[in-house]
Amino acid sequence: DAMVIQNPRYQVTQFGKPVTLSCSQTLNHNVMYWYQQKSSQAPKLLFHYYDKDFNNEADTPDNFQSRRPNTSFCFLDIRSPGLGDAAMYLCATSRAGTGSGNQPQHFGDGTRLSIL
């Protein structure tokens, strides 16, 4: 089945130690998103790509970076994680283009990040 896959499901890192979360998709969607979700809250959009065009949210900390080397893969890099960055990180995809506005996002299972 076509899907969005996030690895790992659980990631533990030390305060200040860089960490990378990965996302891959087999849906061939041209838009990929990264969200941060804290307990029982709405997902907060960090950034999204339309193809290779990167769109950063104004309130996304500089500590968060992203790479999309090709259509299928997208990475979230946290350069110096702080305790406040402990959260669930969700990757999502959607199809953009003429007539695709009603297409929903497809989400991965998420990566739960813990900071020691």
Partner 1 sequence: AQTVTQSQPEMSVQEAETVTLSCTYDTSESDYYLFWYKQPPSRQMILVIRQEAYKQQNATENRFSVNFQKAAKSFSLKISDSQLGDAAMYFCAYRSAAPGTYKYIFGTGTRLKVLA
Q: Are strands 53-56 and 44-50 parallel, antiparallel or unpaired?
A: antiparallel
* CB 16 to partner 1: min, Å: 28
What is the spatial distance between Cα 65 and Cα 24, in angstroms, rounded to a whole number?
Answer: 17
Give the three-class secondary structure for 83.
helix
Task: Please report whether residue 113 would count as binding partner 1 according to CB under 8 A.
Answer: no
Among 90, 111, 113, 115, binds partner 1 (CB under 8 A): 90
Task: Please report whether residue 73 would count as binding partner 1 according to CB under 8 A.
Answer: no
What is the spatial distance between Cα 4 and Cα 20, in angstroms, rounded to a whole number?
Answer: 17
Among 43, 46, 78, 115, binds partner 1 (CB under 8 A): 43
Task: Please report whether residue 83 would count as binding partner 1 according to CB under 8 A.
Answer: no
* Prior bond of 81 cis (ω within 30°): no
Non-local CB neighbours of 34 within 8 Å, separated by 6+ positions: 23, 45, 46, 47, 48, 66, 74, 76, 89, 90, 91
- Which is nearer to partner 1, 78 or 90 (by Cβ)? 90
Among 110, 111, 113, 115, binds partner 1 (CB under 8 A): 110
Which positions from 47 to 66 touch partner 1 by CB under 8 A, shown as an x/- string? -x-x----x-----------
- Which is nearer to partner 1, 65 or 94 (by Cβ)? 94
